[in-house]
């Protein structure tokens, strides 16, 4: 597989980030993009995508996205992703309060998909009063499903079809899971640059290693039913960013914040830590944050 190649889902929906207007996608263009990058497995899967008059069938693609993200939600449940974020978020909220933050802390999940993280944190995060969680995604079908699930679960979080970086009420803290590797090159620097005015950000993504692609392939083939999920889950481990690249991009983009990695160490046998975090915050938050992390503070560092 090609570490610079796309995931299939990156190519299927085209939304203007300023207007949220969705543009039709030609199936031939999807196939050409995958073939150009030598993604033979991806092209084979994409050949059976539903088409109408030369374009991908939007309703069926939306339904596919909901199924693929539901499979991703199962992965996050098994990887205890909500709890991992909570372990970072609770000390950060404490640090914000200690440093005098008054009023609501707005936590915005960038690219929230079906909103698993936001819903989990709202239901089980112990985040205390004065916290408002908002999930944003360009994809209307995912946001409609996320809002429906939150209503069924009786949760007070919000979901928006919106660019997370241009909300009317800006975020105090940005969070995400499984999003970083979708941004490449200067796009990754720009991703962080758009968060430079926030108090902090916490982003979790797959931790790359020589074993991760094989582990991911076995896991996705065994546990996922959608061919698109099997392909994209494996490809995301192939192209996951190493900690050094994330640090460099975050420091170039959001240099005014103090930036470090969580679980960034390169392990000899890389099977215990499946996720890598990029943690950025205002300099004055750093000391109370590290103090409140307790033993988990040992997991911060620049990676090696
Ligand atoms: C892999 S998916 C999200 C996965 C999701 N976080 C999860 O854990 O299930 C990446 C999503 O990011 C969204 N996205 C990328 N940039 C965004 C932005 N600036 N604002 C809102 N959504 C964004 C895309 O629409 C896409 O659906």
Task: Tell me the per-residue pLDDT of 225-264, one tens digit each, with 9 for 90 and over.
Answer: 999 999 999 999 999 999 999 999 999 999 999 999 999 9
Q: How far apart are alpha carbons 299 and 103 in whole angstroms?
A: 30
Same domain for 130 and 237, yes or no, is yes
Q: Residue 147: inside a domain, yes or no?
A: yes
Q: Decide: 195 in ligand 1 pocket, CB within 6 A.
A: no
Q: What is the DSSP letter of 302?
A: -
Residue nearest to atom 4 of ligand 1 (CA): 113
pLDDT in tens, the chain (304 residues): 788 899 999 999 999 999 999 999 999 999 999 999 999 999 999 999 999 988 999 999 999 999 999 999 998 998 899 999 999 999 999 999 999 999 999 999 999 999 999 999 999 978 999 999 999 999 999 999 999 999 999 999 999 999 999 999 999 999 999 999 999 999 999 999 999 999 999 999 999 888 888 888 888 788 889 999 999 999 999 999 999 999 999 999 999 999 999 999 877 777 778 899 999 999 999 999 999 999 999 999 998 6
Q: Residue 144: inside a domain, yes or no?
A: yes
Separation of CA 52 and ligand 1 centre (Å) = 26
Same domain for 59 and 99, yes or no, is no
Q: Can you count the helices (H) and strands (E) in the chain?
A: 12, 12
Q: How far apart are alpha carbons 229 and 235 in whole angstroms?
A: 10
Q: Decide: 6 in ligand 1 pocket, CB within 6 A.
A: no
Residue nearest to atom 17 of ligand 1 (CA): 111
Q: How far does CA 93 lie from the centroid of its chain?
A: 20
Same domain for 130 and 244, yes or no, is yes
Q: How far apart are alpha carbons 181 and 206 in whole angstroms?
A: 8
Q: Residue 253: inside a domain, yes or no?
A: yes
Q: Residue 1: inside a domain, yes or no?
A: no
Same domain for 146 and 211, yes or no, is yes
Q: Decide: 138 in ligand 1 pocket, CB within 6 A.
A: yes
Q: Residue 168: inside a domain, yes or no?
A: yes
In the listed set 65, 88, 106, which residue is the last one of a domain according to the structure? 65
Separation of CA 109 and ligand 1 centre (Å) = 9
Q: Which of 122, 118, 126 is nearest to 76 (CA)?
A: 118
Same domain for 27 and 88, yes or no, is no
Same domain for 81 and 228, yes or no, is yes
Same domain for 132 and 87, yes or no, is yes
Specify the pLDDT at position 54.
86
Same domain for 187 and 59, yes or no, is no
Separation of CA 114 and ligand 1 centre (Å) = 10
- Measured over the CA atoms of residue 23, residue 28, residue 34 and residue 37, the dihedral's sign is negative
Same domain for 140 and 265, yes or no, is yes
By residue range, what is the domain housing residue 291?
73-301
Q: Decide: 72 in ligand 1 pocket, CB within 6 A.
A: yes
Same domain for 105 and 232, yes or no, is yes
Of the residues 179, 191, 203, which should be mutated to test ligand 1's pocket, given the most ligand atoms within 8 Å of the CB?
A: 179
**Domain tally, the chain:** 2
Q: Decide: 275 in ligand 1 pocket, CB within 6 A.
A: no
Q: Decide: 111 in ligand 1 pocket, CB within 6 A.
A: yes
Q: Residue 3: inside a domain, yes or no?
A: no
In the listed set 45, 65, 85, which residue is the last one of a domain according to the structure? 65
Q: How far apart are alpha carbons 134 and 175 in whole angstroms?
A: 10
Which CB contacts under 8 angstroms, 24+ apart, belong to 68-72? Answer: 68/9, 68/226, 68/228, 68/229, 68/232, 69/113, 69/114, 69/142, 69/145, 70/114, 71/223, 71/224, 71/225, 71/226, 71/229, 72/113, 72/114, 72/116, 72/178, 72/229, 72/233
Separation of CA 136 and ligand 1 centre (Å) = 8
Same domain for 278 and 176, yes or no, is yes
Same domain for 15 and 164, yes or no, is no
């Amino acid at each position: 597989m090609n570490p610079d190649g796309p995931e299939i889902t990156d190519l299927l929906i085209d939304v203007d980030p300023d207007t949220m207007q969705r543009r039709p996608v030609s199936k031939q263009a999807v196939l050409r993009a995958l073939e150009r990058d030598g993604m033979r497995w991806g092209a084979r899967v994409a050949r059976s995508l539903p088409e109408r008059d030369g374009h991908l069938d939007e309703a069926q693609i939306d339904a596919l996205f909901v199924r693929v993200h539901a499979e991703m939600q199962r992965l996050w449940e098994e990887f205890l992703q909500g709890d991992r974020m909570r372990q970072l978020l609770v000390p950060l909220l404490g640090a914000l309060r200690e440093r005098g933050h008054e009023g609501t802390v707005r936590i915005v999940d960038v690219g929230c998909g079906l909103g698993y993280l936001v819903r989990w944190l709202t239901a089980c995060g112990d985040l205390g009063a004065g916290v408002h969680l908002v999930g944003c995604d360009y994809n209307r079908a995912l946001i409609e499903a996320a809002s429906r699930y939150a209503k069924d679960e009786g949760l007070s979080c919000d979901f928006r079809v919106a660019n997370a970086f241009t909300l009317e009420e800006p975020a105090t803290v940005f969070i995400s899971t499984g999003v970083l590797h979708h941004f490449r090159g200067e796009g990754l620097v720009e991703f962080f640059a758009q968060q430079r005015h926030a108090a902090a950000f916490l982003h979790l993504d797959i931790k790359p290693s020589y074993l991760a692609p094989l582990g991911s392939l076995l896991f996705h083939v065994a546990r996922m039913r959608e061919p698109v999920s099997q392909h994209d889950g494996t490809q995301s481990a192939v192209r996951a960013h190493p900690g050094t690249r994330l640090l460099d991009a975050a420091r170039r983009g959001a240099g005014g914040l103090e930036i470090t990695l969580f679980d960034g160490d390169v392990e000899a046998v890389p099977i215990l830590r499946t996720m890598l975090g990029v943690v950025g915050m205002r300099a004055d938050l750093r000391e109370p944050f590290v103090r409140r992390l307790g033993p988990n503070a040992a997991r911060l560092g620049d990676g090696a």
